[in-house]
Chain A
Amino acid sequence: MMSWFAEESITTFQKFCINVIKCGPIPKHIAFIMDGNRRYATKTNVQKAEGHLKGFEKLAECLEWCRELGIREVTVYAFSIENFKRSKEEVETLMGLAREKFQKLLEEKDRLMKEGVCIRVIGNLSLLPEDLQELITKAMLLTKDNNRSILNVAFSYTSRDEIIHSIKTVIEGVTNDDISIDDIDEELLSSCLYMHKSPNPDILIRTSGEVRLSDFLLWQLSGTEIYFTDVLWPEFCIWHLLGCVFKYQRSVFSSKQLSHQKSNSERSPIVDAFLQKVENTRLTRSIIKA
């Protein structure tokens, strides 16, 4: 069965080119909308499930390239809440694939810990089958303290759902008198998102020629460089990735003067205590589940 780690997917020449690109600024966080698995299946005359499997293999390879490049954090859009609208058969295939892959992930525990990979699944997990929720929570708990490289998997995710979740968390805080209405600001809403631990992505890549965001990370993409490419996800290769990083470097040169970084203002102790509480509830809930 295909592993989460792609072995030797980089040739010596590619490695050389990676080292050349690494002389310049490298994004810290890169996001992917992995689109085109089904179109690839149609194109090559194979089953849809085969296309999705190819897509997963590509993800493992791509993670390898990112690690080699020194990109610490990767976020991928694996399954949208909207995708539940697909045929029952396809949804079940995808859930089965996810089950298999998270199982595999737990089997590869040693490797995962050795490489220091932290897996976070972001999304509305309550919409998923019970056993899959359990597997996901186990994987997250197991790797939560790893920090060498981070993989966020958006699964059962939409950005609007994430924003609404954050708003409701904040309103609950007000209802419980943990915070006051005046504490509500952009920063606080950002801190209550599923993705609150991650810096905003520097680059977003969407494959297969679509040019929209499809409800992915709308809140977090405020200053991101967005690249739309025509290649189908299973055909995405290291040169596409290097090309995007190259363009990113060019835009870093030209936009130095309008740096888009958030100012890191001091948070009030009350807000801090509230956020700690939210985090603790989340953790307790997942420990119970696992």
Chain B
Amino acid sequence: MKSANIHTFLYVLIHVIYTIFEWLYGALVICFNFCHEFLPTTDKSKYFREELQKITKKPTHLTVIFGAEEPPFKELTNLILWCLATQISFISFYDYKGNLKKHEEQLQYEVGLQKNETDHITWHSNPKIVHKNGYLGRSIHVKIITKEDGKNSIVNLTKKLAVFKNKDFSIENFSEMLLAQYEFPDPDVGLVCGQTIRLYDYPPWQMRITEFFKLGSIQGITFPKFLEVLVRYSKCEQRLGK
């Protein structure tokens, strides 16, 4: 009985100490970011140029995964603009609660206000829209993913195949059939918001080789942080089983 008490006491103690430590660390990060804002601008652009040179490989599709947090429009708009600036062609946002999908029009409006006139943004909100190519300026495809795009889309495709009693297909065939609905290539980079990496029913088929990076809170994402992820991604080496 006595040793059990010691165990419980220590258990509570380490969790309390860790909580305090976490809180202090959080405060320190806020201070640091605050000071960072006041760096002279010349320094900043030099720093960005240096970082950009380190990026040898760019993701085609970057996806952002939200947990309990409500996705804030300002940060989402920034992410879209940063992807435009770094020539990433596809960006998607996954909100398992589905709230983002409901407010998609508002997001489209906000992004419309911020972007350059020549920038072209293709929103993949309805599957049936025909997308035109051949714009001169920078362009990007944006999609908001919901839970429906995940396991459910696999269920629906299975039903379709079952109607024709078709059992003669390979992994590649199935991928192509899913892609026809999904329209986006498999994501190369997954930014996960939150203190731990958790996927909240993210479309399983698509995340086979996605490199995941933990963001912490989405509120804290700045351009330097975004660049840092791209630099880290460009260092990832995929051996594809070998």
Partner of B154, one of A172, A189, A212, A226: A189
Note all chain B residues with C-beta closer than 8 A to A213. 207-210, 212
Q: Does B152 contact A (CB under 8 A)?
A: yes
Q: Is the CB of B167 within 8 A of A172?
A: yes
The complex places the Cα of A172 from the Cα of B201 at a distance, in Å, of 27
B167 touches A171 (CB 8 A): yes
Note all chain B residues with C-beta closer than 8 A to A168.
167
Cα A175 to Cα B177 with chains together (Å): 21
Residue contact B14 to A20, C-beta cutoff 8 Å = yes
Return chain A residues, CB-CB under 8 Å to B159.
181, 184
Is A241 part of the contact surface with B, judged by Cβ < 8 Å? no
Known: A175-B165, A226-B198. Is A215-B208 also a contact (CB below 8 A)?
yes
Task: Tell whether, in the assembled complex, residue A189 and residue B18 are in contact, meaning their CB atoms are under 8 Å apart.
Answer: no
Instruction: Known contacts A85-B242, A186-B152; decide if A225 and B196 are in contact (CB<8 Å).
Output: yes
- Whether, in the assembled complex, B155 has its beta carbon less than 8 Å from a beta carbon of chain A, the answer is yes
Question: Are B199 and A226 in touch, CB under 8 angstroms?
Answer: yes
Instruction: Report the minimum CB–CB distance from A72 to chain B (whole Å).
Output: 21
Q: Is B98 an interface residue (CB 8 A)?
A: no
Asked if B171 is an interface residue, CB under 8 A from chain A, the answer is yes
Assembly CA distance A19 to B10 (angstroms): 10
A3 surroundings in chain B (CB, below 8 A): none
Contact A225 B197 (CB under 8 A): yes
Contact status A167-B158, CB under 8 Å? yes
Per the 8 Å Cβ criterion, residues 15-37 of A in contact with B are 16, 19-24
CA distance A215 to B198 in the complex (A): 16
0/1 interface trace, chain A 149-160, chain B, CB 8 Å (1 if under): 000000000011
Which chain B residues lie closer than 8 Å to A224 at the CB level?
198-199
Distance in Å from the Cβ of A244 to the closest Cβ of chain B?
10
Q: Are A258 and B68 in contact (CB under 8 A)?
A: yes
A-B contact count (CB 8 A): 146
Distance of A75 from chain B, by nearest CB (Å): 16
Interchain CB contact (< 8 A) of B241 among A19, A80, A219, A255 = A80
B213 part of interface (Cβ distance < 8 Å) = yes
Which of the four size classes fits the interface of chain A? Answer: 35 or more
- From A59-67, A245-253, A270-278, the one touching the partner chain is A245-253
Instruction: Say yes or no for B39: interface residue by CB 8 A criterion.
Output: no
Residues of B within 8 A of A140 (CB): none
Q: Provide the bound-state CA to CA distance between A172 and B12, in Å.
A: 53
**Known contacts A167-B154, A225-B196; is-contact A181 B162 (Cβ 8 Å):** yes
A97 within 8 A of B: no
Within 8 A of A (CB), among B1-28: 3, 7-8, 10-12, 14-15, 18
B220 at the A/B interface (Cβ < 8 Å)?
no
Q: Which residues of A contact B204 (CB under 8 A)?
A: 159, 163, 218-219, 221-222
* Residues of the A chain whose Cβ atoms lie less than 8 Å from the Cβ of B196: 225-227, 247, 251
Chain B nearest CB from A241 CB (Å) reads 16
* A9 touches B (CB below 8 Å): no
> Is A254 in the interface zone, CB < 8 Å from B?
yes
- 24 A-B residue pairings within 8 Å (CB atoms): A19-B3, A22-B7, A23-B8, A82-B240, A85-B242, A160-B175, A164-B170, A171-B158, A181-B159, A184-B158, A189-B154, A211-B212, A211-B213, A218-B204, A221-B204, A222-B202, A224-B198, A224-B199, A226-B197, A226-B198, A227-B197, A228-B212, A251-B195, A260-B200
Q: Which residues of B contact A (CB under 8 A)?
A: 3, 7-8, 10-12, 14-15, 18, 68, 151-152, 154-155, 158-159, 161-163, 165-167, 169-171, 174-175, 195-202, 204-205, 207-213, 236, 238, 240-242
Contacts A80-B241, A167-B174, A226-B196 aside, 16 further interface pairs with beta carbons under 8 A come to A19-B3, A24-B11, A82-B240, A159-B208, A160-B171, A160-B205, A163-B204, A164-B170, A184-B158, A189-B154, A212-B209, A213-B208, A223-B200, A227-B197, A251-B198, A260-B200
